Structure 1
Amino acid sequence: MVIPLGFSTLACPDYDVDQVIAMARDNGYAGVEIRFLRGTVDLPTLEELSPGRVAETRRRFDNAGVAVVGIDTSVRMTSLDPAVRAQQLEAARANLAIAEGLGAWFLRVFGGPIPAAQDRERTLDAIASGLGEVADLTAARGIATLLETHDDFSTSPAVLDLYARGASDSLGILWDTLHTYRHGEDGAFTWDRLGDRIKHVHVKDSKAANAGGFDFALTGEGTVPIRSFIDLLESVGYQGFVHFEWEKGWHPEIAPPEIALPHFARFMRGLRP
């Protein structure tokens, strides 16, 4: 089984659509997920993703044979303020329209860090209900909402607690393997607990990956056992994409996309000579 590869445009934050397509096509990537375009994460403000232009943009990806797999949002439901929660729901709706227009099948959301000043139990209940509401909204339009294993939801127990609190079963999981790994979970542990909900996977490498933080290493030059994750996914018959998430948009000091993205593609091809 060959798992299709892709990348998040977090790796190439200043690229326009044509540059994203060229990078994918030239390096054998089957798909992309959109986080940045032309220097912004505020995707609804971009003309090429507007209601009048998004179909044309989709044709450009389709004609190049590159799938837009997902739209990565910053949506989170940590606030207890109804006005803030309404804003987050509106952001989900705006990005849902883009996902539909581009033919993407998922919307990424976050659980987020739990604000220290808020009651923890009330906040967890609010996150579960709020993300469930987003997931039901997108599911009604045929698009999945995926919670990324990140921030205070980097471990399987933390994620499962949201479902125990009533989060909708429409909410799926985007497994960021670095974050579960650096918090002490090996791949088999995470898959045993979340595998039936995992619909998409991120990988990236780090030399200093632990619960206190991480840094960035080109793929295969750090300590994260990336091969073991791929072996596991193949062994369980995983049907989704594996995407490279290189955080150039947040960390301008790391290697540019012209180095990191071809390097990842070569590394992954080298796993199965």
Structure 2
Amino acid sequence: MRYAFSTLGLPGTPLARSAALAAEHGYDGLELRAHPEEPLHADSPRGDRAAARRTLAAAAVTVLGVAGYAKVAGAGEDGPVLAELRSLVRLAADLEAPNVRVFPGGGELPDADADTHAIRRLRAAAPYAERHGVRILLETHDSHRTGTAVARVLEGVGDPGTGALWDVLHTWLAGEQPAESWRALAPHLGYVQVKDVASARDLTPLGLGDGVLPLAEVTARVPPDGWLCWEYEKRWYPEAADLPDRLTRGREHLARLRGEPAEVGAPAAEPVRRPQDPGGGTP
């Protein structure tokens, strides 16, 4: 299993510091929040992108994905959305990142209309992403919170240049069971975002394992060569504890759930059995 964390948990932190923290605490990669508040975003000059590649290579840390804010299911004209998608794909390609995260953003649109917008735009953007070696991942979020809803869109797109990002919090808030999310998303899955919270009413980020999300049920389903990315939403909850103090414990918790060595270099533990479907089949 490969582990990453999102720079959303380190708002405004220089990339060199984020990469050093990843290496120090045993993470393989970073998910980079692509926003003008951050060191790298869609308008960053080429020199900054090249310097970022050197910084990451020196730390032996990869970029799992560029977390953009394009809303592919939202109302309005296609042009600005497609331009934003192309700029995010170029940023990901320049950073040698395999994935770009996008949101649905369908708002109050009827499901059918939101689906139609998302399918049309993702179909248009997918060939461009493929040419750049990048996959556009639609996150389980806002108007398409469940794995079932995201899979419905991706099946309509039908292009390998698109896929799914499973945000565990949102499928849980929607009441979708992990087994149901997995069945819907597995054919499309790029990677999984994990996190933990105290309740549906208190979404302040907690250390992994300190809250109520079904992390064991989720992580046991991810293939051995898959990615788990901890999205600690410090940017939205400044009162939350600082992420660096929790990084090692969070990765070790995920490793234990997977039956893998909790410490870097530790001997492997017995593997955790994958959860069974109610019918007895392995998901």
Which TM-score band (shorter chain)? 0.7 to 0.9
1:190 aligns with 2:181: yes
Distance across 2 between alignment mates of 1:220 and 1:11: 17
With over 3 angstroms needed to count, the CA separation of the structure-2 counterparts of 1:166 and 1:138, relative to structure 1, is: closer
Distance across 1 between alignment mates of 2:202 and 2:57: 38
SS at match of 2:221: helix
Q: Give the TM-score of the pair, scaled to structure 1.
A: 0.85
Q: Which amino acid aligns with 2:51?
A: E
- 1:20 maps to what in 2? 18
Distance across 2 between alignment mates of 1:137 and 1:52: 23
1:86 aligns with 2:114: no
Contact preservation (8 Å) 1:150, 1:176: yes
RMSD: 2.3
Distance across 2 between alignment mates of 1:240 and 1:88: 29
Post-superposition shift, 1:10? 0.5
With over 3 angstroms needed to count, the CA separation of the structure-2 counterparts of 1:96 and 1:185, relative to structure 1, is: same
SS at match of 1:53: helix
Q: Which amino acid aligns with 1:159?
A: V
Larger helix share, 1 or 2: 1
Instruction: Give the one of 190, 215, 218 matched to 1:229.
Output: 218
With over 3 angstroms needed to count, the CA separation of the structure-2 counterparts of 1:97 and 1:168, relative to structure 1, is: same
Q: Which amino acid aligns with 1:102?
A: L
With over 3 angstroms needed to count, the CA separation of the structure-2 counterparts of 1:214 and 1:149, relative to structure 1, is: same
1:268 aligns with 2:262: no
Distance across 2 between alignment mates of 1:161 and 1:139: 21
SS at match of 1:227: helix
Post-superposition shift, 1:39? 3.6
Post-superposition shift, 1:215? 4.0
Q: Which amino acid aligns with 2:206?
A: A
Instruction: Give the one of 113, 117, 138 matched to 1:122.
Output: 113
Task: Structure 1: give runs of 5+ residues left out of the alignment.
Answer: none
Distance across 1 between alignment mates of 2:92 and 2:21: 21
Task: Structure 2: give runs of 5+ residues left out of the alignment.
Answer: 262-283
Residues 88-117 of structure 1: per-residue CA shift (max 9 Å, x gap): 2222222222211111001111112x233x
Distance across 1 between alignment mates of 2:191 and 2:2: 11
- 2:229 maps to what in 1? 243
- 1:256 maps to what in 2? 242
Post-superposition shift, 1:164? 5.2
With over 3 angstroms needed to count, the CA separation of the structure-2 counterparts of 1:241 and 1:93, relative to structure 1, is: same
Residues 217-272 of structure 1: per-residue CA shift (max 9 Å, x gap): 22111111212222222xxx353211000011122121112223333123224443
Q: Which amino acid aligns with 1:13?
A: P
Instruction: Give the one of 143, 155, 177 matched to 2:134.
Output: 143
Distance across 1 between alignment mates of 2:256 and 2:137: 29
- 2:150 maps to what in 1? 159
Residues 192-236 of structure 1: per-residue CA shift (max 9 Å, x gap): 222011111110011213xx7844322111111212222222xxx
Aligned pairs, how many? 259
Q: Which amino acid aligns with 1:175?
A: W
